[in-house]
């Protein structure tokens, strides 16, 4: 993996006209990043008030158009729509023969690879899957954060250099993901990031229920240290009652969790069971320590 030196838009002539389909948090930011890299955004589609406001803020002066018109006026089309809407969008534009031969078409889905472009291939588009592995706010803050993130890149071998160049131009790092691995790649990101939000939010709610005025102040240093340690050492970072084989503590936690909102107890049981199984697998827990905890937790499911 590597990075290119980032230069200003003034250092490079505009190379491609870009159409942005979907002025959501991702599309509006990536459109602005491509513009800053020297490309020329010629149109954006936006429907909701929020997307119209984002387009006006991040892509000022760029005309808002209907999707077929955005596509018609671009050498590079950025499809930044929800995963479940992507296949229907590609199929619909293909059915109306909206694509142009030689047009670079990029989608930003983490889940989909290149199969979603199948209806458009007879119109000779150049398909790329470029997924930014970050959480977007839909504000200019994201433009700086792009320089710290990776993009999951899936493309035909002959277009690999094009895909990587586009990622490098916005200051990010391309990481090649094989088409067959795209689903597992997206699972890893969703499981690690989205479920972390749920987990931390549950913990904050429990702390707040005890009367702690600033639960984030109490939990924050612990969570940040645990995350940093896990990123560095994976399972070696594990601490707490499961790592110690403390069945009594785990039993007490499950009992207390029953008095919390209904999503807390099953989440605790599932995560504790996954934790004990991982700890046993790499022998951080002896079998005689792991077995009773695992049996208890399975009974609670």
pLDDT (tens digit, 9 = 90+) per residue, 112-158? 999 999 999 999 999 999 999 998 999 999 999 998 899 999 999 99
Q: What is the pLDDT of residue 49?
A: 93
Q: From 158, 177, 196, give the residue that closes a domain.
A: 177
Co-location of 203 and 98 in the same domain: no
* Band (73; pLDDT cuts 50, 70, 90): confident
Average pLDDT of the residues of the chain: 92
pTM recorded for the entire structure: 0.85
pLDDT (tens digit, 9 = 90+) per residue, 29-54? 999 999 999 999 999 999 899 999 99
Per the domain annotation, does 215 fall within a domain?
yes
Q: From 152, 177, 202, give the residue that closes a domain.
A: 177
* Band (5; pLDDT cuts 50, 70, 90): very low
Per the domain annotation, does 209 fall within a domain?
yes
Co-location of 16 and 159 in the same domain: yes
Q: What is the pLDDT of residue 148?
A: 86
Backbone conformation region of residue 211, classed left if phi is above 0, alpha if psi is from -120 to 50, else beta? left
Identify the domain containing residue 60 by its residue range. Answer: 9-177
Mean pLDDT of 81-108: 96
Co-location of 159 and 232 in the same domain: no
Q: Structurally, how many domains does the chain consist of?
A: 2
Closest to 149 measured CA to CA, from 126, 166, 128, 131? 131
pLDDT (tens digit, 9 = 90+) per residue, 195-206? 999 999 999 999
Co-location of 107 and 254 in the same domain: no
Co-location of 138 and 53 in the same domain: yes
Crossing angle of helices 287-300 and 247-257, in 10° steps, is 20
Co-location of 58 and 202 in the same domain: no
CATH number for 85: 3.40.50.720
Q: From 159, 177, 195, give the residue that closes a domain.
A: 177
The answer, yes or no, to whether residue 6 has pLDDT greater than 50, is: no
In the chain, helix, strand, coil percent, each to 5?
A: 60, 10, 30
Co-location of 113 and 227 in the same domain: no
Per the domain annotation, does 3 fall within a domain?
no
Rounded to 5 degrees, φ, ψ at 17 are -85, 140
């Amino acid at each position: 993996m590597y990075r290119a030196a980032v230069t200003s838009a003034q250092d490079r002539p505009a190379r491609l006209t870009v159409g942005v389909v979907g002025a959501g948090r991702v599309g509006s930011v990536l459109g602005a990043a491509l513009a800053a890299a020297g490309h020329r955004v010629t149109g954006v589609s936006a429907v909701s008030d929020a997307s119209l406001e984002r387009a006006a803020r991040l892509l000022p002066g760029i005309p808002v158009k209907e999707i077929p018109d955005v596509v018609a006026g671009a050498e590079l089309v950025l499809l930044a729509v929800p995963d479940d809407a992507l296949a229907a969008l590609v199929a619909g534009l293909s059915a109306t023969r909206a694509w142009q031969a030689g047009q670079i078409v990029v989608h930003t889905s983490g889940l989909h690879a290149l199969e979603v472009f199948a209806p458009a291939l007879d119109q000779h588009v150049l398909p790329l899957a470029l997924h930014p592995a970050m959480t977007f706010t839909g504000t200019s803050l994201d433009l700086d954060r792009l320089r710290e993130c990776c993009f999951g890149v899936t493309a035909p071998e002959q277009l690999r250099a094009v895909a990587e160049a586009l990622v490098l131009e916005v200051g990010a790092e391309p990481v090649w993901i094989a088409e067959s691995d795209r689903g597992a790649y997206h699972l890893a990101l969703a499981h690690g990031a989205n479920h972390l939000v749920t987990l931390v939010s549950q913990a904050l709610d429990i702390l707040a229920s005890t009367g702690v005025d600033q639960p984030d102040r109490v939990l924050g240093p612990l969570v940040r240290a645990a995350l940093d340690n896990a990123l560095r050492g994976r399972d070696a970072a594990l601490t707490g009652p499961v790592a110690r084989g403390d069945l009594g503590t785990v039993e007490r936690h499950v009992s207390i969790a029953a008095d919390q909102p209904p999503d807390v107890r099953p989440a605790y049981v599932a995560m504790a069971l996954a934790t004990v199984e991982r700890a046993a697998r790499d022998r951080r827990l002896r079998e005689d320590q792991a077995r009773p905890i695992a049996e208890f937790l399975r009974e609670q499911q």
